[in-house]
Structure 1
Amino acid sequence: MPDATDQAFYDRADAHIELSNEQLKILENLGQVSASMMFGTTRFNAWASARNFKSGAEMAEAREAMLKYFCEQYRMMLEDNLDDHINNFSQYMTAPKPQ
């Protein structure tokens, strides 16, 4: 993530993670909770993107550009977080699991 990202960005992300951790306490299925979070993110991003267009046809013209943007952003953020977990594996994985 860029260094210019403000703390509120991370606070919002942490709020989503906390909700998933709460769901994990009930469901106890990490894969299902993760899939739901990813689906919610994609649905929200599709809705947020649609707000920038006047018609479905106009949105369809930009579909590939939107896919490229969101896939690149997801990959960049995932790479950063994977690297963080690789570099801090012992610290992160010995911490107590969410309850």
Structure 2
Amino acid sequence: MADATDQAFYDRADAHIELSNEQLKTFDNLGQVSASMMFGTTRFNAWALARNFKSGEHMAAEREAMLKYYCDQYRMMLEDNLDDHINHFAQYMQVK
């Protein structure tokens, strides 16, 4: 993924991660901050997708294709990041 993606992609992602990290400073519940970030992402993606349609009916007709695409993309990105954390666990988690 890294080779085909420009630096601005990662900069935008890092800005979202930084917001979540800031929230953790005042709300010490990692699971809930993570869930809020995921909800915000899905809400934004639904809005962004809706902009491509002229009607709810047309959007409904494409619902399964949109779900498949986004679920496949999420899984691919999560797999990449899980593998990265597995391979660099000691570094990322500051294990001595």
Same fold (TM over 0.5): yes
Q: Does 1:35 align with 2:35?
A: yes
Structural RMSD (CA)? 1.0
Larger relative contact order, structure 1 or 2 (CA cutoff 8 Å, min sep 6): 1
* Aligned positions of 1:37-56 closer than 5 A: 37-56=37-56
Please report how far the alpha carbon of residue 55 of structure 1 lies from its aligned counterpart in structure 2 after TM superposition: 0.1
Aligned length: 95
Q: Which runs of 5+ in 1 are unaligned?
A: none
Aligned to 1:74: 74
- Percent identity, aligned pairs only, is 84
3-state secondary structure, aligned to 2:93: helix
Q: Which amino acid aligns with 1:5?
A: T
Q: Which amino acid aligns with 1:64?
A: E
* TM-score normalised by L of structure 2: 0.97
Aligned to 1:58: 58
Aligned to 1:93: 93
Runs (4 or more) in structure 1 with deviation over 4 Å come to none
3-state secondary structure, aligned to 1:39: helix
User: 1-side partners of 2:85 and 2:71: how far apart?
Assistant: 21
Q: Which runs of 5+ in 2 are unaligned?
A: none
